[in-house]
Amino acid sequence: MADLGNLKNTAEIVRKHQFNFQKKFGQNFLIDSNILDKIIESAKLTKEDCVLEIGPGIGTMTQYLAEEAGEVVAVEIDKNLIPILEETLSTYPNVTIMNEDILKVDINRIVQEHNGGRPVKVVANLPYYITTPIIMALFESHVPLQSVTIMVQKEMADRMQVGPGTKEYGALSLAVQYYAKPEIIARVPASCFMPRPNVDSTVIRLTRYEKPPVDVEDEAYLFAVIRASFNQRRKTLANGLTNAGNLGVNRQMVEETLEEMGLSAMIRGEALTLEQFAELSNRLGGKRV
């Protein structure tokens, strides 16, 4: 099968199958072989690896993955792409195509069935409308992962790797940095896709920590605290936490805890580091009723 990482071969497949791009599924197919090579190289694949690809599209990146990895499981929501994938990937016996919604399928089960529960590598040019829920699903449901190498909207990649005090810093930054080390791999202009998206993109690699960098007594509670802290961005942290309703704490407990930590009652969530959120959640968790 011809390499799909260029405009000519992609346009030919699209025309041959009379495929209609669906905006609602975030369909922008990669047509740049240099970017594809860069993604594959940064995922550091070996024949020992099982790769989970989210949204294979017409199978462009899947071909590259199948060449380097031992096995590839590609989960695609759009049933109209399945016959195309069966054609473009027909020469790769190490690829399994699944017609599923990645947010509904049991990813842990896929990893169990295809890799005996050992950590997989996720590599994907993500559908941008669900970048955050996909990342949260992978991390929060504790899918065994080595790394996640993904193309995302530039602004999302920035959010994943910034620290406190910037306007991009928020719940996504903290969630990603609790579970993984983020590294920007490449900036990718809109001209590398068909059709062209309205935004620029970035390839980012998230390497899963064996153990989170902070000690947290109740992980679910940490994330509830983080969400509450950024829910009302323009309000103080104390207000966000008191108003959340699901943390089991009142204003007095919150203010007392901030004081114990040497923080102002007027501080905002965006000023706290991951270490401070961990301490805040451990302390509040101990007081909650």
Nearer to ligand SAM, 196 or 251 (CB): 196
Give the largest CA-CA distance in the chain.
67
User: Among the candidate windows 56-64, 137-145, 156-164, 264-272, which touches ligand SAM by CB under 6 A?
Assistant: 56-64
Residue 5 found at the interface with ligand SAM (CB under 6 A): no
Residue 249 CB neighbour total at 10 angstroms: 21
Residue 170 found at the interface with ligand SAM (CB under 6 A): no
184-196 burial: b if 16+ Cβ within 10 Å, else e: ebbebeeebbbee
Residue 152 found at the interface with ligand SAM (CB under 6 A): no
Q: Is 147 left (phi over 0), alpha (psi -120 to 50) or beta?
A: beta
User: Among the candidate windows 25-33, 136-144, 169-177, 250-258, which touches ligand SAM by CB under 6 A?
Assistant: 25-33
Task: Decide: 184 and 159 in contact? Cβ < 8 Å.
Answer: no
CB of 198 to ligand SAM, least distance (A): 13
Nearer to ligand SAM, 69 or 81 (CB): 81
Among 63, 125, 132, 153, binds ligand SAM (CB under 6 A): 125
Residue 285 found at the interface with ligand SAM (CB under 6 A): no
DSSP 8-state class, residue 197: P
Q: Which residues pair with 187 in a beta bridge?
A: 202
Q: State the Cα–Cα distance between residues 140 and 132, nearest whole angstrom.
A: 12
DSSP 8-state class, residue 57: T
Residue 55 found at the interface with ligand SAM (CB under 6 A): yes
Residue 75 found at the interface with ligand SAM (CB under 6 A): yes
Residues that bind ligand SAM (CB under 6 A): 25-30, 54-57, 60-61, 75-78, 81, 101-103, 125, 127, 130
